[in-house]
Amino acid sequence: MASRKATAQKTVAPPLANAMAAAARVVAGVAAGRSLSTELDRAVQEEGASRASLLDLTHGTLRRYGRVQAMSRTLSKRGGTDPVVEALLWCAFYAMDSGRFAAHTIVDQAVRACAIAGQHPAKGFVNGVLRTLLRDRAAIERRISSDLEARWQHPRWWIEAVQRSHPEAWQRVLQEGNTHPPMCLRVNERRISTAEYLRRLQAENIAARPLLDRALLLGTPVPISRLPGFAQGEVSVQDAGAQRAATYLGLAAGQRVLDACAAPGGKSAHMLELEDIELTALDADATRCQLIERNLARLGLTARLRAADCTRLDTWWDSTPFERILADVPCSSSGVVRRHPDIKWLRRATDLEAFAARQSAILDALWRVLAPGGKLLYVTCSVFREENDAVVESFVARTPQISRLPLPHGAASALLPGPENDGFYFALLAKPT
C-alpha cells in the first residue's frame, strides 16, 4: 500500500507545470485569433485551471509580442512545431525573463508540462531549446537586439503607427504598453466621501493617494474582495484617465444625457454619481447591457437602458434631443493594451481604417440627436492618430457651424499612458444654439 501511495505521489504534476500547460493552450488560442478572455474562460471551465495561476503567465507572455517569437526563431530551426509546444516555449521564455523561478526549475517544469498538454514527443525538443537558451543567453540576446518587434514587443505596424502619431513620445508610449497597469478607484460620493474612503483604505493597510476629485490611485493592485464597501457601492474600479470623461462634459442637474456606447457602464455610473441627470445608456450588445445594469444596481443608480446600435436612430431615439452626449466609441484599444495584451496579437493595421469608418458613422448619427447649444464628447482609448485627430478633424470639416471647445483646465486631447493612467483621447464638440 505504501509503495502504491508513493508511486501515485510521484505522478502528481507540480503546480508550475500544470500552470504552464494550461497557459500554453490559452496563448496558442490567442495566437490563432481568439480573445484572451474567451480562452481563459475555456481553460477554467473545461480544464479546471486556476484563473489566478494563469493570469501572470498568459499576460506576461502576450505582452512580449515579438520578443518571444524572435527567441523561438533564433533557438529553433525546426519547422511545423505544434502551436501548443510553440506557445509553451514562449511561456517558458517569459518565466525566465520574470526572474521569479530558478532557470533549471523552468526547464524541468516546461518538460513536464509537455506531458500534461499531451505533447509527449516534444519533451526532448523543449528540453534542448531551453538548455541552449541557458547556455548561450548572451549571444541570443545580441542576435535579437536588432529585431524591432523583439525590442519594443509590439507588431511592426503598431510601432510605426505610434511613431507617426507621437513622434516625440513614441518610445515612452511603447514602453508603457509593456508594463503592469495601475489600479485606480472612483469613490461614489453619494454614499461616502473620498476623504473618508481613503481613511478606510488606510485602516485596511491598502496604500493609496488622491489623483482627481474622486480618484484614488492604489500603491499596489489588490483583489476587489479586499476593497472595503465595494459590494455596498461605495467605490468602483476605474482608470484615472477614464474618469476624466464625465468631468469634461459640464453636467448639470436635470440635463438629458446620452451615453451612446455605454458598456460596461463605468462612465454612465460616474455621470450619475456627479449629477441628477436623465441618462439614457445604449450598447449594441445586449449581453453587455446586463453589465451596465449590474454596475448601476450595485451603486444604487438608475438609467434608461437600451440594447441598440446608436447609429440606427429609428430603433431607439424618441425624437427628443440630448443636451450632453458621451461618444466613447469602439476603437483599437491601443491605449489600454497593457490591460489586454492579446490586442497586440489580434489587431491588424487594416483595422484602423475600419474603426475610423465606424467612428465617423457614430459621430454623424449622434450629431443629429444633439440639442442646439449641446455638447458632445468624443472619446477613444486609442493612441493612434487615425482614430483620434484624423476622425475629429474630418468630422469638423464636413459639419456646418460646429465648434471644437478647449478641454477643462487646458488639458491636452491626447492623454498618453503612464504610471497613473491609461491612454485616452478626448474631443469636446459644441452645436450652436
Contact 110, 88 (CB under 8 A): yes
CA dihedral 375, 376, 379, 385 (to 10 degrees): -100
Of the residues 91, 261, 331, 381, only one is catalytic, namely: 381
Contact 430, 402 (CB under 8 A): yes
- Of residues 233, 235, 234, 198, the one with CA closest to residue 219: 198
381 catalytic? Reply is yes
Distance CA 114, CA 37 (A): 23
297 phi, psi to nearest 5 deg = -65, -40
Contact 149, 234 (CB under 8 A): no
374 phi, psi to nearest 5 deg = -85, 170
Q: How far is CA 284 from the centre of its chain?
A: 20
Residues belonging to the active site: 381
